[in-house]
Structure 1
């Protein structure tokens, strides 16, 4: 499905992996990934990130966001298999992946764009979701515009953001008080 928003290239594949494949990958990722909970400083206050994270990729790939710098851990077979399936379909190569583990509804990701300099001018971000469904919200960077979009990221789905999306749009995974299963999200990228 093409998501119809101006100044964006967003495609959502609701069932990129079968239910069985997605469940197996979720369990492997929970067990195999070296998860961390880092400290983050926002508006002068330091606290723990509201989720667990990990950074994997080609040797020497470094990624910095919100004053956190991460050096890539080596790819494992599960990540390589996920990466290759995505690359085969969208015909774009990735050299790194940021993983987020949302343990419950209180774990979240605030409004942001994936616009760090090492991602280049118009980055392609391939976002794979395994586990509980979560709301993915988009809003324009320009505060005078009121257009909003919500996508429910389902178990085994793939969301692609490309083109000018990161220049014009912010996105987030909000907290929820509703019961929600744990979820792991992988955002594949190309780091210069």
Structure 2
């Protein structure tokens, strides 16, 4: 099931490790929304991609669209919590990342990151359409979603929900981190567009607080 990821010229270590979060840079989007960016937060990201691609119990899903069932164009995995304890993630560095993000944003977020959803984009035919994480509390409350990307870069595109304003486009992969905060899930939408370009595989790990999907 594993697909090939194009290696980064700047990630030449197999040691899988996190860097500090002190280099995070914030961009204010408007309407109370913002994003924090930290390129290359995870070292050894290409090695982690290979481990996740072969080791995670990926599942393919189908959904109903226009009166027929279609395949969801990516593979998925989800790690929630049991009896109030977050599930152990498929690599120790992801548990470390969840703890580090919770500690860094605790004052602003007011709660820890608990769940982790993984998406496996095998090539340019995989993607995700425009959406906001508005299932649960994200539909009515400011919250945060932190995304760690490993593997080949893919564009993450953000636009205002009512489409009056500039579109933000950033390539993410090779250990890059983006945190979408404030009203971002309610007032903005994001997508990973499909592409006809030759692109390698990418895995994104989305850390969320309890009750946000």
Q: Which residue of 2 aligns with 1:68?
A: none
- The change in CA–CA distance for 1:90 and 1:15 in structure 2 (over 3 A counts) is farther
Are residue 31 (structure 1) and residue 54 (structure 2) matched? yes
**Structure 2 Cα separation of the partners of residues 188 and 43 of structure 1:** 31
What is the Cα deviation at residue 6 of structure 1?
0.7
Q: Which residue of 1 aligns with 2:146?
A: 126
Q: Which residue of 2 aligns with 1:75?
A: 89
Q: 5+ residue gaps in structure 1? A: 62-71
**Structure 1 Cα separation of the partners of residues 97 and 52 of structure 2:** 11
Deviation per residue, 1:40-80 (Å, 9 max, x gap): 1234332110000010121168xxxxxxxxxx975344332
**Structure 1 Cα separation of the partners of residues 167 and 137 of structure 2:** 28
* RMSD (Å) for aligned C-alpha atoms: 2.1
Between the two proteins, the alignment pairs up a number of residues equal to: 179
TM-score (norm. length: structure 2): 0.76
Q: 5+ residue gaps in structure 2? A: 1-24
Aligned with 1:107: secondary structure?
coil
Aligned with 1:158: secondary structure?
strand
- The change in CA–CA distance for 1:181 and 1:77 in structure 2 (over 3 A counts) is closer
Are residue 13 (structure 1) and residue 38 (structure 2) matched? yes
Of 81, 99, 119, which aligns to 1:58?
A: 81
Q: Which residue of 2 aligns with 1:180?
A: 199
**Structure 1 Cα separation of the partners of residues 69 and 83 of structure 2:** 27
Aligned with 2:42: secondary structure?
coil
